[in-house]
Amino acid sequence: MKNNASKKILIVDDESEMRVALETTLQREDYQLVCAEDGKQALDELENQDFDLVLTDVRMPKLNGLELLRAIKESSPKTPVVMMTAYGTIDNAVEAMKEGAFDYLIKGSGFSADVLVSTVKRAFIDPLDYVPPARPTGMIENSDLTGSKRIVTQNEEMKKLLKFAENVAYSKSTVLIMGETGTGKELFARYIHQCSPRASKNFMAVNCAALPEGLLESELFGHEKGAFTGATENKEGKFQLAHQSSLLLDEVTEMSLPLQAKLLRVLQEHEVDKVGGRAPIPVDVRVIATTNREIRRRIQDQEFREDLYYRLNVVPINLIPLRERKDDIPLLAEYFMKQFCQENSRSPLKMDSATLTLLKKYRWPGNIRELGNIIERTCLMCQGDTLLPSHLFFDEEPLTSGKKGALPTGTIYEMEKDLILQTLEEFNGNKTKAADSLGISIRTLRNKLNEYNTGE
Ligand SMILES: Nc1ncnc2c1ncn2[C@@H]1O[C@H](COP(=O)(O)OP(=O)(O)OP(=O)(O)O)[C@@H](O)[C@H]1O
Ligand SMILES: [Mg+2]
């Protein structure tokens, strides 16, 4: 028996057939359903009772889906809203995502019942309060890990993502990890595997961008001897090798469309077709995919299959760029510094506070990987026991003032002031966020600002 009976969904669509189709599908999943014919009627319903989710068409008379979304985000911002749209009005759906819609489904292509149900299910998994039904004991957590496998962070949002990853680890759900280059996507994927009941088996990984189509196909699905010229041996694909384990599909958006179709089949049918093979081979694989590209853009450009996206994106994890979690910079810098000293048998190094200030000012296009590299380089440059700004060289120009390749000038007081005012500007004057990002308390931030005001 599914435990959906307590969830109430409002269906809003002006086409009665659509309403009936949605209702029938979701009824089978045991949800409580209420239907409305347009945005206005939906608002009336919302005034009378609470809903756990709203599923709405975009184009409707009286009040359209976008207007309805705005009204809902005003009155009950936490209620997830899923938009339904036709291909022609996909812009509206993207707009809606920016305004806080949970996701969108495309009509016309006839999204399947499966997609509808999985989207609705996902909307009910809130990363922040997702509680798994039961957690096997004896699983590892980040805090138990040591050495290079640990995910170093003190950022609150990242800690929530870690907790979330630990919770979803033991399910079989496909995970899609998104984030800029060097944000730790692979590290996260390995971590999910380590936390999962599959941890005793070997973690497998394939970089989908690294191989040409034919080779990637063999690599993933394997081939029989003689299947094509050069296939002199039987080869087991990574899917087969990852049986009862986890498989990382790195940069999944780089897969060709025919391979995407094949991947979709594996995810749906849980069996692989070897190239030249006669019978499909059943496999039990936990797929974790990563991308640093704008996957929605790829879908819009028809370079990535939308149905595959929904299969992969059962559990989405969005890693935060380093520039948006500056409170992690001191911790990570310290961690990389220690690692360097250990690996090179050097006595412990310290970091000058001005050096740290500069690190916090930088944009970090290469995120944690770049920080690691720069710390290593800085340690190499440093002869003494303290990393000074003069030892520091960035790959890109620092965000702020300063001449070409030069370090920002002025006293530390001036640099700090610059940094604080600029960060404040970056966050549109939001002191809490600015303080967070700077890694100082809001009280310190206020004091500094007062100081600057009276000092001028
Ligand atoms: N929070 C962290 N704590 C410690 N090390 C980290 C952390 N995040 C990333 N790293 C390290 O930074 C490097 C880059 O991480 P990783 O390879 O996981 O990034 P990625 O997102 O997969 O990058 P890409 O998109 O370029 O493939 C690795 O050496 C990893 O160990
Ligand atoms: Mg990677």
Q: pLDDT tens digits for 411-442?
A: 777 788 888 888 888 888 888 888 888 888 88
Q: What CATH number has the domain bearing residue 188?
A: 3.40.50.300
Report which of 435, 436, 437 is spatially closest to residue 448, judged by C-alpha positions.
435
- Asked if 211 and 257 sit in the same domain, the reply is yes
Among 123, 147, 174, the domain boundary falls at 123
- Asked if 191 and 281 sit in the same domain, the reply is yes
Among 289, 320, 351, the domain boundary falls at 320
Residue 320: what pLDDT?
A: 94
Task: Report the C-alpha gap between 150 and 163 in whole angstroms.
Answer: 14
Which of the listed residues 190, 317, 334, 369 should we mutate to test ligand 1's pocket, taking the one with most ligand atoms within 8 A of CB? Answer: 369
The residue whose CA has the least distance to atom 26 of ligand 1 is 181
- Asked if 180 and 100 sit in the same domain, the reply is no
Residue at 34 is within a domain:
yes
Q: What CATH number has the domain bearing residue 117?
A: 3.40.50.2300
Task: Report the C-alpha gap between 147 and 145 in whole angstroms.
Answer: 7
Average pLDDT over residues 196-210: 91
Residue 408: what pLDDT?
A: 55
Domain that holds residue 23: 8-123
Task: Report the C-alpha gap between 367 and 184 in whole angstroms.
Answer: 9
- Asked if 184 and 116 sit in the same domain, the reply is no
Q: Quick one: how far is CA 312 from the chain centroid?
A: 12
Residue 10: what pLDDT?
A: 97
Task: Report the C-alpha gap between 279 and 261 in whole angstroms.
Answer: 18
Which of the listed residues 158, 252, 368, 370 should we mutate to test ligand 1's pocket, taking the one with most ligand atoms within 8 A of CB? Answer: 368
**For ligand 1, is residue 179 a contact (CB within 6 Å)?**
yes
Kind and range of the H or E element at 38? none
**For ligand 1, is residue 185 a contact (CB within 6 Å)?**
yes
**110 falls in which pLDDT band (50, 70, 90)?**
low
Residue at 150 is within a domain:
no
Beta-strand ranges (E) seen in 157-216 are 175-178, 204-207
Question: How many domains does the chain contain in total?
Answer: 3
Q: What is the dihedral of CA 18, 19, 21, 23, to 10 degrees?
A: 160
Among 301, 320, 339, the domain boundary falls at 320
Residue at 62 is within a domain:
yes
Most confident among 98-112, 145-159, 236-250, 299-313 (mean pLDDT): 236-250
- Asked if 372 and 439 sit in the same domain, the reply is yes
Residue at 134 is within a domain:
no
- Asked if 362 and 383 sit in the same domain, the reply is yes
pLDDT, tens only, 306-360: 889 988 887 889 999 999 999 999 999 999 999 999 999 999 999 999 999 999 9
C-alpha dihedral sign at 86, 90, 91, 93: positive
Residue 90: what pLDDT?
A: 64
For residue 186, report the distance from its CA to the centre of ligand 2, in Å: 5
Ligand located closest to 178 CA: 1
DSSP, residue by residue, 105-128: EETTTT--HHHHHHHHHHHT--TT
**For ligand 1, is residue 152 a contact (CB within 6 Å)?**
yes
Average pLDDT over residues 208-221: 92
- Asked if 414 and 383 sit in the same domain, the reply is yes
Q: What is the pTM of this model?
A: 0.64
Q: What mean pLDDT, rounded, does the chain reach?
A: 85
Which of the listed residues 154, 186, 203, 339 should we mutate to test ligand 1's pocket, taking the one with most ligand atoms within 8 A of CB? Answer: 186
pLDDT value at 127 more than 60: no
- Asked if 102 and 194 sit in the same domain, the reply is no
For residue 365, report the distance from its CA to the centre of ligand 2, in Å: 15
- Asked if 173 and 285 sit in the same domain, the reply is yes
The CA–CA distances, whole Å, from 190 to 32, 236, 244, 290 equal 38, 22, 15, 12
Residue 447: what pLDDT?
A: 87
pLDDT, tens only, 372-383: 999 999 999 898
**For ligand 1, is residue 183 a contact (CB within 6 Å)?**
yes
Residue 126: what pLDDT?
A: 52
pLDDT value at 290 more than 60: yes
- Asked if 162 and 114 sit in the same domain, the reply is no
The residue whose CA has the least distance to atom 12 of ligand 1 is 369
**For ligand 1, is residue 186 a contact (CB within 6 Å)?**
yes
Contacts of 288 by beta carbon, 8 Å cutoff, 6+ apart: 174, 175, 176, 177, 189, 192, 193, 246, 247, 248, 249
In ligand 1, the atom with minimum distance to the C-alpha of 190 is: 18
- Asked if 259 and 309 sit in the same domain, the reply is yes
Task: Report the C-alpha gap between 434 and 432 in whole angstroms.
Answer: 6
Residue at 49 is within a domain:
yes
Q: What CATH number has the domain bearing residue 347?
A: 1.10.8.60
- Asked if 249 and 294 sit in the same domain, the reply is yes
Residue at 131 is within a domain:
no
Residue at 136 is within a domain:
no
Phi and psi dihedrals of 110, rounded to 5? 65, 75
pLDDT value at 197 more than 90: no
Residue 129: what pLDDT?
A: 43
Phi and psi dihedrals of 151, rounded to 5? -95, 110
**For ligand 1, is residue 153 a contact (CB within 6 Å)?**
yes
Q: What is the dihedral of CA 70, 72, 74, 76, to 10 degrees?
A: -160
The residue whose CA has the least distance to atom 28 of ligand 1 is 369
Rounded to the nearest 10 degrees, the angle between the axes of helix 113-123 and helix 16-28 is 70
The CA–CA distances, whole Å, from 265 to 222, 248, 254, 289, 306 equal 15, 17, 18, 16, 14
pLDDT, tens only, 226-267: 888 888 889 999 999 999 999 999 999 999 999 999 999 998
Residue at 404 is within a domain:
yes
**401 falls in which pLDDT band (50, 70, 90)?**
very low
Q: Which of 214-222's residues contact partners 24+ apart within 8 Å by CB, and which partners?
A: 216/255, 216/256, 216/259, 217/259, 217/262, 217/275, 218/275, 220/259, 220/262, 220/263, 220/272, 221/262, 221/266, 221/272, 221/273, 221/274, 221/275, 222/272, 222/274, 222/275, 222/277
